[in-house]
Structure 1
Amino acid sequence: MKRLPFVAVVLAIAGLMPLILCACGIVFFSSGVPIPNLMMAFVSYCAVSLAFFGAVHWGLALEPAPVIVTSSADRTDITRLVLGVVPAFVGWVAAYTAFAWMPVAGVAILAVAVPLLALLERQSWRMGALPTGYMGLRWIVTAVTECCLLVVLVARLF
């Protein structure tokens, strides 16, 4: 398995900026008028990020087969494909819930889904199915994302 390129680290950290800016705007902006649009931007970006994390697994499942095939290779590919699709679906449910019903409900769905996916990825990492350095970066991105989600939840509920 290849090492994680440095540019991936830089881009992952830079990718957190829209999330942080939206969260700060939701928490610190005093007028109630633009908040619904900002909440939708926040939920949409989190949903897209969740789908992107799933896409990592989809890409790994579709990479060329290794020279040495183990007995669990088919099961690993099926797990990767499931991890590739389910986060996108959950992100869509969160975005639709936020749009059709209540933005805070979409944030709550994402606040559960983001760390849950990271825990599932940790299991894949332990089996050697993810590149070196991926989980370190993933934990940083997950921690920042989860902090933003929880801060927005607390700010909107209380």
Structure 2
Amino acid sequence: MRLPFFALILGLAGLIPFLTLGGWIFLAGLFSPLPHLTVILLAYGACILSFLGAVHWGLAMERPDIITVQGTADRDRQRLLLGVCPALWAWLSLCVGLLGGLRAGYLLEVIGFLATFAVERMAWKNGALPPGYMPLRGVLTVGAVISLLMAALAPLQNYTL
């Protein structure tokens, strides 16, 4: 089963801010600090990481029988947990990035994207995710991680606000 074409297009469109901001921060950042753009990219990364968790919360809640007399099934409990963890990690990344240094925030977001992908891959192998989901997630994760790393490696950025 493949994802709908519209979902594929919208997923790839979500990479546009990552690729443009990450690339611009790295290339233009060689010559001039871009503190506002770095904060915008950090915030966008946190939003998208939170959204990845929301996808799993939605998968768990789409079934009307999630809350039953017996309680939630193991798979649904895992989905609910995966729905919250990326959002909490994104919040931590944003806090560290804004209070401690943008470079540290970017690196925490990279860890969050990679860890979420790894857990999703295990869930996908166990049949908990739609078949067409992981190829798209792989491309999106690679794009986000590369962009965040490019921004983290920009030499002239003001990494404390």
Q: TM-score, normalised by structure 2?
A: 0.86
Name which of structure 1's ranges 75-84 and 93-102 shifts more when overlaid on structure 2: 93-102
- Specify the code of the residue in structure 1 equivalent to 2:107: A
Cα separation, 2, equivalents of 1:132 and 1:93:
31
Residues 8 and 155 of structure 1: is their aligned pair in 2 closer, same or farther, counting only changes over 3 Å?
same
Extract structure 1 runs of 4+ deviating beyond 4 A. none
Residue of structure 2 in register with 1:59 after alignment: 58
Residue of structure 2 in register with 1:31 after alignment: 32
Highest RCO, 1 vs 2 (Cα 8 Å, sep ≥ 6): 2
Q: How does 1:30-109 map to 2 (within 5 A)?
A: 30-32=31-33, 35-64=34-63, 74-109=73-108
Point out where structure 1 has 5 or more consecutive residues left out of the alignment. 67-72
Cα separation, 1, equivalents of 2:51 and 2:97:
19
Question: Deviations 1:76-113 (Å, cap 9, x if unpaired)?
Answer: 10100010011011101111111112111100101111
Aligned-residue Cα RMSD (Å) equals 1.9
Give the share of equivalent positions with the same residue, in percent: 37
Cα separation, 2, equivalents of 1:40 and 1:116:
22
Residue of structure 1 in register with 2:120 after alignment: 121
Question: Deviations 1:22-81 (Å, cap 9, x if unpaired)?
Answer: 11221111222xx11111101111111101111110000001258xxxxxx711101000
- Specify the code of the residue in structure 2 equivalent to 1:31: S
Q: TM-score, normalised by structure 1?
A: 0.88
Point out where structure 2 has 5 or more consecutive residues left out of the alignment. 66-71
